[in-house]
Structure 1
Amino acid sequence: MSDSKTIKKAYERNRKAIEMRPSVGQSTALTKVKIRDGTTCEIESGSKTLVCDIGEAEGGNDAGPGPGIFERAALGSCLAMGYAQQAAVMEIPVDHIEVFVESDFDARGQFGLTDDPPGFKALRYEVRIESPAPEVQIIKMINRADARSPVLDDFKRPIPIERKVNIESTRAEPS
């Protein structure tokens, strides 16, 4: 298990490496998603694998969490890890961290029943931290972590998206 000294040491080492060579902190990541059994997605990213699916009521197999769960989980876990990291760096003792992420959505857009966007309408998160440190220090740490959270930033601002389509025909050629 990572303790606060290990977290702080890694953070400072990585910060120094990126400060000395900014290109060290810049890269491109790739995640591959492949459909099997109708709606079940096999997700591969490096050595990590996940499964995503929709529920049976939606025509899926209910083989794993749905995309909305992963979105909320990505935000909540990024925030929670950021709080743990900043607490370690700032040497603020923390006994417990929890982040609750709640989303509002309206499925009508997904089914073409409205012109409204099909995604989340709102996101809210609640941070629960147990610590003997003064509240003002904890708030400062939370604010610093939020300001540096890559996933929180991804949700806050538009990101350019490009689409490339590759269609491979499976039709038999006439002989």
Structure 2
Amino acid sequence: MSDAQHIKTAFERVANAISRRPSLGHGTGKSVTRVTNGLRCESREGPWQVVTDMPENAGGSSSAPTPGVFGRAALGSCLAIGITMYAAKLGIAIEALEVEIQADYDDGAIFGVGDTLPGYTEVRYAVRIDSSADEDAILHMLDEAERHSPYLDVFRRAQVCRRSVQINGNAEQ
């Protein structure tokens, strides 16, 4: 079975199961991050571990990528995976696919300098695709993939964020 056929079969199986029982699609991701040394952090989720740090000029040790690298990679890989899934679903052969993420920021906000917001001021993404399929079919497939992309949605739409705190092991504050 080809990669595209394997992806299409899995896509259809999961979509069918969720359409019959929508609750199968509901879940909560949970990762735990600990500061291990200076600004170096280890984040764990299930069997996976990701390490982040900050550059030396920002007080880190430059021992790992910054959180921003992983944020941009999350968006880029989510788009690339979604495009590949929808191409398989729609029978569009892809010879090569690359997604480039560019994000503008002002680090002054992290350090309390100026009155800018700490998040990105603009995010751009470029999709480079090689395919023998018709251009209109490719554009339709890209529109469908983007419409269903979780991380594109996270970047486009404000999210509800709730904080809870435990201090010295005491109940939530």
TM-score range with shorter-chain normalisation? over 0.9
| Unpaired stretches in structure 1, ≥5 consecutive residues | 170-175
Structure 1 residues 2 and 70: alpha-carbon distance in aligned structure 2, compared to 1, 3 A threshold: farther
| Aligned counterparts, 1:110-149, within 5 A | 110-149=110-149
Measure how far apart 1:115 and its partner are: 2.2
Q: CA RMSD in A?
A: 1.3
Measure how far apart 1:113 and its partner are: 1.5
Measure how far apart 1:59 and its partner are: 1.1
Measure how far apart 1:2 and its partner are: 7.0
Partner of 1:34: 34
Instruction: For residues 78-113 of structure 1, give each alpha carbon's deviation from its aligned partner in whole angstroms, at most 9, with x where no partner exists.
Output: 000001000000000100110000010011111112
Partner of 2:155: 155
Task: Tell me the distance in 1 between the aligned counterparts of 2:103 and 2:92.
Answer: 30
Task: Tell me the distance in 2 between the aligned counterparts of 1:41 and 1:77.
Answer: 22
Equivalenced residues, count: 169
- The answer to whether structure 1 residue 74 and structure 2 residue 74 are counterparts is yes
- The DSSP-based 3-state class of the residue aligned with 1:159 is coil
The sequence identity of aligned pairs, in percent, is: 41
TM-score scaled by structure 1? 0.93
Measure how far apart 1:57 and its partner are: 1.4
Partner of 1:168: 168
Measure how far apart 1:165 and its partner are: 1.0
- The DSSP-based 3-state class of the residue aligned with 2:118 is coil
Partner amino acid for 1:23? Answer: S
- The DSSP-based 3-state class of the residue aligned with 1:89 is helix
Partner of 1:96: 96
Partner of 1:4: 4
Task: Tell me the distance in 2 between the aligned counterparts of 1:88 and 1:145.
Answer: 11
Partner of 2:13: 13
- The DSSP-based 3-state class of the residue aligned with 2:76 is helix
Task: Tell me the distance in 2 between the aligned counterparts of 1:126 and 1:166.
Answer: 42
TM-score scaled by structure 2? 0.94
Partner amino acid for 2:132? Answer: P
Task: Tell me the distance in 2 between the aligned counterparts of 1:103 and 1:134.
Answer: 30
Partner amino acid for 2:60? Answer: G
Task: Tell me the distance in 2 between the aligned counterparts of 1:48 and 1:152.
Answer: 23
Larger Cα Rg: Structure 1 or Structure 2? 1
- The DSSP-based 3-state class of the residue aligned with 2:79 is helix
